[in-house]
């Protein structure tokens, strides 16, 4: 309650009353965000963007909007822009606030104020309250609505409008319409704050595939990445995209689009020579990883139609078993999309379509269309059935092989691989297995481990790539056989039993080089393709051996990553030295903290350099004359820009930089902005400086960070230590650079690659000891995405792999320097 009155008091008087009700609703969202967006971590954070985009997609589906743009800003705020009609701005007769404000504050505003009762259609999961939920969970939200020749603006802070909707300016083109929403997720609510470009890109690509003709552009101002998703081919292009790294066995994807009453069924399918099945369902463009009635309807129809076709055309001669649905779906990539009036979700995670009427509708519509398709395309039908017959034969062979191994393992009494060192504990919940690359690291791990709880399985060289091998061949491979035996679960449909798993932590431990990363990917491919439940249950981990080794005299340290190395070097230099700042002798901790702040400040400024200019930013932080107030006054602004130009002429930078500033009107916001061109010998950068940036909390944060070190920027620092002697510095930057360098003096820092370079004790201390180690848990958020990663990385096609590696160059670089 205290919070409420506090935020209300910020708001104007008459306005207050109508806000109280709103607050109660929004407060409920802030108290239990999980109820509305699932969680407050990665998924929930990204969900917020989808909710806003969904409103724009609805506008597109209604036929009023052709393009949606999404921009991720440097401060991790996001803007979504559409060119639709613009959210209505008229004042609601009863609530006395604008429709736009209602949409963003009322939890049940789904078009209620539309007299004809034509509630706006909902493509997302929150039935029209998405915008209000996002608003409640945002530090601030800014709306700009172009409508009736004017730009209307509205701002919210933590869900509460700071003043009523206002006209910001006139439009040059009176006919222009659209909605722009910018929001910054509230750091007090979310544990994760950074948007992931690829996650958003994958979702928008998927939406563009599912809504043919829809154009979505995504731009990331943090990295200058940009992509446009626009597919006239819809689902057919979706399947072609998913199969781009695979070898297809018939040319064009099969496409079916049928409707009955209010139900629209759209599917596209194509078989490849791979052994996995990719089947994705959507209901009203919402992904249904849990499957449901649309999926079962499709499967039943496919099995029935293909079996009937095979029998009628005598294609099953000489086969001992029947073709099962699994045989027929080997190598299949299929998208099943259904649009229906009333969604019902089931299952623990509400990701399974429950509408019972859907099963029959899909079954009959798809059945008829497929039957017709196979009759008209007998060659495709025969190719598919031949592949299914092969799959059935392999299934038979694998069954026989499995029976053989089962008998053999019984004879071998429990049959653990000979090279493996098991642990003493028998309770799987307490047991760990380290799967280790190479015999030598395996040897160290065996000696260094805690024998009671930790088992070690060393692998020799690379394991078989299961992406390119069918089940029977896979089971014949020695390294894979060892892994299967060690895990104890068995493998394959009808045979895998997770309750027999012998270790609840399966830790992959490979070297931090190219080979190590390849072996890790091979192991993950095996686990994902053959034991996906192990990942789903959270049993699979990746060991994190240290990246650096620091050696000075007899002192040896292993250091996790670059940040830890920097901290280590600073502490190392400060420790045992006498330091004076402006004649005073501060505590070591204070000196370390000051240098760390300086490093963080410098890093943030450098990061901004990608899209902004670090020198200009530094100046704007250190001298805050240029404000959004000043921006409005052209004369004063010009004066300030002149003095900035003078300043840049007077300072020395590492390369010659030439700055030009041009004022431009920003009529939509009744203010000005500054166009900036920075020329260096290497490149020319153009960008804008506007009030949005000067008013942003992130700019304020940078100013604060600078406040913390400002006092010391030009302090006198004296550093004294035996052997080094006494040194003086007149600036924090010189002092900090010296300390970092001094921390390295006489030491040997090695970018550390092989596990084998550590002796058993070191391996235990750094990587295996549960008290010290860090383990990365392997998670799969999105099965289509995972299928793509493995089929692209491990498949036959070279071009998609090259593209993938290029696009992921940063990640790859981290793995191996």
- The answer to whether 511 is a known catalytic residue is yes
Please identify, using beta-carbon distances, which residue of 56 and 336 lies nearer to ligand 1YM.
56
Judge contact between 783 and 789, C-beta under 8 A. no
Of 81, 46, 48, 69, give the one whose Cα is nearest residue 226: 69
Round to whole Å and give the CA distance between 660 and 682.
16
Rounded Cα distance between 589 and 601, Å, is 18
Count of positions on this chain that bind ligand 1YM (CB under 6 A)? 17
Q: Spell out the SS3 assignment of 541-574.
A: EEECCCCEEEEECCEEEEECCHHHHHHHHHHHHH
Task: Report CA torsion sign: 762, 763, 767, 773.
Answer: negative
If we measure between CA atoms, which residue out of 416, 463, 415, 409 comes closest to residue 436?
Answer: 463
Q: Which of 181, 236, 353, 524 binds ligand 1YM (CB under 6 A)?
A: 181
Write down the least CB distance from residue 732 to ligand 1YM, Å: 44
Binder to ligand 1YM among 23, 103, 295, 362 (CB under 6 A)? 103
Stretch that binds ligand 1YM, among 49-57, 335-343, 443-451, 802-810 (CB under 6 A): 49-57
Cβ atoms of residues 725 and 484 within 8 Å: no
Q: Contact between 179 and ligand 1YM (CB under 6 A)?
A: yes
Pairwise CA distance, residues 255 & 335, whole Å? 10
| Residue closer to ligand 1YM (CB basis): 114 or 627 | 114
Among 23, 44, 59, 278, binds ligand 1YM (CB under 6 A): 59
Which one, 50 or 550, has the nearer CB to ligand 1YM?
Answer: 50
Q: Are 716 and 581 in contact (CB under 8 A)?
A: yes
Is residue 292 near ligand 1YM by the rule CB under 6 A?
A: no
Stretch that binds ligand 1YM, among 17-25, 55-63, 201-209, 698-706 (CB under 6 A): 55-63
Q: Which of 101, 186, 327, 511 is catalytic?
A: 511
Nearest approach, Cβ of residue 109 and ligand 1YM (Å) = 6
Helix (H, G, I), strand (E, B) or coil at 53: helix
What binding mask, one character per residue, do residues 544-583 give for ligand 1YM by CB under 6 A, x or -?
----------------------------------------
DSSP string, 108-169: T-SSTT-TT--PPP--SSSTT-HHHHHHHTEEEEEEEEEETTEEEEEEEETTEESS--EEEE
Any bridge partners for residue 181, and if so which?
A: 80, 143
Q: What angle, rounded to 10 degrees, do the helices at 697-710 and 588-608 form?
A: 140
Q: How far is the CB of 57 from ligand 1YM (least distance, A)?
A: 9
Site residues for ligand 1YM, window 65-94 (CB under 6 A)?
80, 82, 84-85, 87-88
Burial pattern 455-469, b for ≥16 Cβ within 10 A else e, equals bbbbbeeebbbbbeb
Residue 730 annotated to the active site: no
By CB under 6 A, name the one of 4, 71, 76, 120 that touches ligand 1YM: 120
Cross-strand partners of 352 = 346
Among 258, 513, 698, 816, the one annotated catalytic:
513
Answer whether 215's CB lies under 8 Å from 229's CB.
yes
Distance CA 47, CA 138 (A): 13
Is 367 one of the binding residues for ligand 1YM (CB under 6 A)? Answer: no
* Nearer to ligand 1YM among residue 85 and residue 560 (C-beta): 85
Nearer to ligand 1YM, 113 or 647 (CB): 113
Min. distance of Cβ 87 from ligand 1YM in angstroms?
4
| Interface pick for ligand 1YM out of 18, 55, 369, 672 (rule CB under 6 A) | 55
Window contacting ligand 1YM (CB under 6 A); options: 50-58, 516-524, 557-565, 653-661 = 50-58
* Cβ nearer to ligand 1YM, comparing 80 with 242: 80
Q: What is the C-alpha to C-alpha distance for residues 320 and 317, in angstroms, rounded to an integer? A: 9
Q: Whose Cβ is closer to ligand 1YM: residue 81's or residue 709's?
A: 81
- Shorter beta-carbon distance to ligand 1YM: residue 82 or 511: 82
Q: Are 782 and 764 in contact (CB under 8 A)?
A: no
Cβ neighbours for 184, distance < 8 A, ≥ 6 positions apart: 75, 76, 77, 78, 138, 139, 140, 141, 697
Residue closer to ligand 1YM, measured from CB, 58 or 467: 58
DSSP-assigned beta bridge partners for residue 684: 679
Nearest distance in Å: CB 77, ligand 1YM: 14
Which residue in the set 42, 91, 111, 199 belongs to the binding site for ligand 1YM (CB under 6 A)?
A: 111
Among 23, 89, 99, 595, binds ligand 1YM (CB under 6 A): 99
N-terminal to C-terminal alpha carbon distance within the chain: 54
The single residue of 437, 566, 640, 787 carrying the catalytic annotation is: 437
Please pick, from the candidates 29, 52, 218, 267, the single residue that binds ligand 1YM as defined by CB under 6 A.
52
Q: Are the C-beta atoms of residues 645 and 682 closer than 8 Å to each other?
A: no
Active site (catalytic) residues: 437, 511, 513, 515
The footprint of ligand 1YM (CB under 6 A) covers 52, 55-56, 59, 80, 82, 84-85, 87-88, 99, 103, 111, 114, 120, 179, 181
């Amino acid at each position: 309650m205290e919070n409420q009155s506090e935020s209300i008091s910020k708001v104007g008087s008459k306005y207050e009353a109508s806000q109280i009700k709103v607050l109660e609703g929004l407060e409920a969202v802030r108290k239990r965000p999980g109820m509305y967006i699932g969680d407050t971590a990665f998924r929930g954070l990204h969900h917020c963007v989808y909710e806003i985009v969904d409103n724009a997609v609805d506008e597109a589906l209604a036929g009023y909007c052709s393009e949606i743009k999404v921009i991720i800003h440097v401060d991790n705020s996001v803007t979504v822009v559409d060119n639709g009609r613009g959210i209505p701005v008229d004042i609601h007769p009863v609530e006395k606030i604008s429709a736009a404000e209602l949409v963003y504050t009322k939890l049940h505003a789904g078009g209620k104020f539309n007299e004809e009762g034509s509630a706006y259609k909902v493509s997302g999961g929150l039935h029209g309250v998405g915008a209000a939920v996002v608003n409640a969970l945002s530090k601030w939200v800014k709306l700009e609505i172009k409508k009736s020749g004017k730009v209307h603006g509205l701002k919210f802070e933590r869900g509460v409008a700071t003043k009523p909707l206002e006209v910001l300016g006139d439009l040059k083109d009176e006919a222009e319409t659209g909605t722009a929403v910018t929001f910054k997720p509230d750091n007090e609510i979310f544990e994760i704050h950074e948007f992931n470009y690829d996650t958003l890109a994958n979702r928008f690509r998927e939406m563009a595939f599912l809504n043919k003709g829809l154009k979505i552009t995504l731009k990331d101002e943090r990295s200058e990445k940009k992509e446009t998703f626009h597919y006239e081919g819809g689902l057919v292009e979706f399947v072609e995209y998913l199969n781009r790294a695979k070898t297809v066995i018939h040319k064009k994807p099969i496409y079916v689009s049928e409707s009955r009453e209010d139900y629209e069924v759209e599917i596209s399918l194509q078989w490849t020579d791979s052994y996995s099945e990719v089947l994705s369902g959507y209901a009203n463009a919402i992904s249904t990883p849990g499957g449901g009635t649309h999926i079962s309807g499709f499967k039943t129809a496919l099995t029935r139609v293909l079996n009937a076709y095979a029998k009628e055309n005598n294609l099953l001669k000489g086969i001992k078993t029947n073709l099962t649905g699994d045989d027929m779906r080997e190598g299949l990539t299929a998208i099943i999309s259904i649009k229906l009036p009333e969604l019902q979700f089931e299952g623990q995670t509400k990701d399974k379509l429950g509408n019972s009427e859907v099963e029959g509708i899909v079954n009959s519509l798809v059945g008829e269309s497929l039957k017709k398709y196979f009759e008209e395309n007998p060659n495709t039908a025969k190719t598919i059935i031949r592949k299914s017959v092969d799959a059935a034969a392999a299934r038979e062979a694998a069954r026989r092989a499995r029976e053989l191994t089962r008998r053999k393992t019984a004879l071998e009494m429990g049959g653990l691989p000979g090279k493996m060192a098991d642990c003493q504990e028998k309770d799987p919940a307490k047991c760990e297995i380290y799967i280790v690359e190479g015999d030598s690291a395996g040897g160290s791990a065996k000696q260094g481990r805690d024998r009671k709880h930790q088992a070690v399985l060393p692998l020799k060289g690379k394991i078989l790539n299961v992406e390119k091998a069918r089940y029977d061949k896979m089971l014949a491979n020695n390294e894979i056989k060892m892994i299967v035996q060690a895990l104890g679960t068995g493998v394959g449909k009808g045979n895998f039993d997770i309750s027999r798993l012998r270790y609840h932590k399966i830790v992959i431990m490979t070297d931090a080089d190219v080979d190590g990363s390849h072996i890790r990917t091979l192991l993950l491919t095996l686990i994902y393709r053959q034991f996906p439940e192990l990942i789903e249950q959270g049993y699979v981990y990746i060991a994190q051996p240290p990246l650096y080794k620091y050696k000075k005299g007899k002192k040896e340290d292993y250091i996790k990553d670059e940040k830890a190395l920097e901290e280590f070097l600073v502490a190392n230099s400060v420790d045992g030295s006498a330091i004076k700042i402006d004649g005073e002798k501060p505590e070591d901790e204070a000196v370390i903290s000051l240098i760390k702040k300086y490093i963080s400040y410098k890093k943030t400024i450098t990061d901004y350099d990608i899209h902004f200019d670090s020198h200009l930013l530094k100046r704007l932080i250190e001298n805050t004359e240029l404000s959004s107030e000043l921006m409005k006054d052209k004369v004063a602004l010009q004066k300030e820009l002149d003095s900035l130009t003078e300043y840049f002429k007077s300072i020395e930078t590492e390369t010659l930089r030439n700055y030009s500033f041009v004022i431009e009107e920003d009529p939509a916001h009744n203010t000005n902005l500054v166009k900036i061109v920075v020329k260096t010998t290497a490149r020319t950068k153009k960008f804008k400086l506007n009030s949005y940036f000067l008013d942003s909390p992130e700019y304020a944060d940078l100013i604060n960070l600078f406040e913390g070190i400002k006092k010391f920027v030009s302090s006198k620092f004296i550093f004294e230590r035996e052997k080094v002697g006494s040194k003086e510095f007149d600036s924090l930057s010189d002092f900090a650079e010296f300390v970092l360098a001094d921390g390295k003096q006489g030491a040997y820092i090695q970018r550390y690659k092989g596990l084998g370079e550590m002796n058993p004790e070191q391996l235990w201390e750094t990587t295996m000891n549960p008290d010290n180690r860090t383990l990365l848990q392997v998670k799969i958020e999105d099965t289509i995405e995972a299928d793509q990663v493995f089929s692209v990385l491990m498949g036959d096609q070279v071009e998609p792999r090259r593209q993938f590696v290029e696009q992921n160059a940063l990640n790859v670089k981290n793995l191996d320097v």
